[in-house]
Amino acid sequence: MRRLLRFFLWISIASLVSCALVVTIIDLRTRKRIYSLNAATHPAQAVLIPGASVLANKTPSNTLVNRLRAGIDLYHNEIVPKIILSGDDRKKSYNEVSVMLDYCLRHGVRPEDIFLDHAGIRTFDSVRRAKEVFGVETVVIVSQNLYLPRALLIADRFKLKSEGVIAESSAFDETFFAHIREYLARLKSIVDILFYKNTQVNNEKLSIHGDGRKSWPKND
């Protein structure tokens, strides 16, 4: 019994060390490409704003509001000419993309410059589809500092030249739960990167250089 307990103890320790190592490596690999909003980021074809929680009254959560504000600021300062809004809209009662679109329109973004990705269920999907669906080659990803290293690592997998801009964190983003969830997501992203197979449908492609309104209708 003692040997069994000792075995599980060593397995647990090894797992924790491995997790810490993965987190550290991802941080080290991406930290030089992460900037504050006021820093001089390089111009890119588009800014990618991954979705986050939407409240019951169909307004964006603080996490999502902060991402949208940062992305719109980059747009108005002409760092990027296009905005990709990528989120979860699988349910009629919960639609991140439509809430994000409404916010951008109300804050002065031209409709033709907004592209909607209705299948951004995860950050992996959002980044992958920016390259495979919209043909983006250079992108600025806006998210909270906690989540940006993972997004940039995924962008590297798809040979997408990327930089990250830090959106202000909400109270939730500073919680222990958010950090644990993110570290687990980083481990999952490694698995996704290693075992990903391209299943992109050609007729789904839409150039980032075109009119973003063509991406608004959802193809069910």
pLDDT digits (tens, 9 = 90+) for 95-108: 899 999 999 999 99
Average pLDDT over residues 186-194: 86
High-pLDDT (> 70) share of the chain, %: 85
Domains and CATH numbers, the chain: 22-208 (3.40.50.620)
Helices (H), 77-212: 96-106, 123-132, 148-157, 176-195
Average pLDDT over residues 211-217: 93
Alpha carbon 39 to chain centroid distance?
20
Average pLDDT over residues 42-53: 95
Higher local confidence (pLDDT), 14 or 185: 185
200: pLDDT confidence band, cut at 50, 70 and 90? low
Residues in the chain: 220
For 21, 147, 202, the CA distances from 26, given in Å and listed in that order, are 9, 11, 32
CB 192 within 8 A of CB 199: no
Predicted pLDDT at 61: 95
Other beta carbons within 10 angstroms of residue 151's beta carbon come to: 23
Going by the DSSP 8-state scheme, the letter that residue 217 receives in this structure is S
Other beta carbons within 10 angstroms of residue 191's beta carbon come to: 10
Residue type, 18: S
Q: Which of 52, 68, 74, 47 shows the shortest CA–CA distance to 136?
A: 47
Q: Which residues of 68-95 are buried (b: 16+ CB within 10 A; e: fewer)?
A: bbbbbbbbeeebbebbbbbbbbeeeeeb
Higher local confidence (pLDDT), 210 or 195: 210
The torsion angle over the Cα atoms of residues 170, 33, 158 and 79, rounded to 10 degrees, is 80
Predicted pLDDT at 205: 85
196: pLDDT confidence band, cut at 50, 70 and 90? confident
Q: Which of 132, 116, 127 shows the shortest CA–CA distance to 83?
A: 116
At a CB cut-off of 8 Å and minimum separation 6, what does 135 contact? 205, 207, 208, 209
CB 160 within 8 A of CB 137: yes
pLDDT in tens, 128-182: 999 999 999 999 999 999 999 999 999 999 999 999 999 999 999 999 999 889 8
Q: Which of 119, 126, 83 shows the shortest CA–CA distance to 101?
A: 83
Q: What strands lie across the sheet with 83-86, from one edge to the other?
A: 34-35, 161-167, 138-144, 46-50, 83-86, 114-117
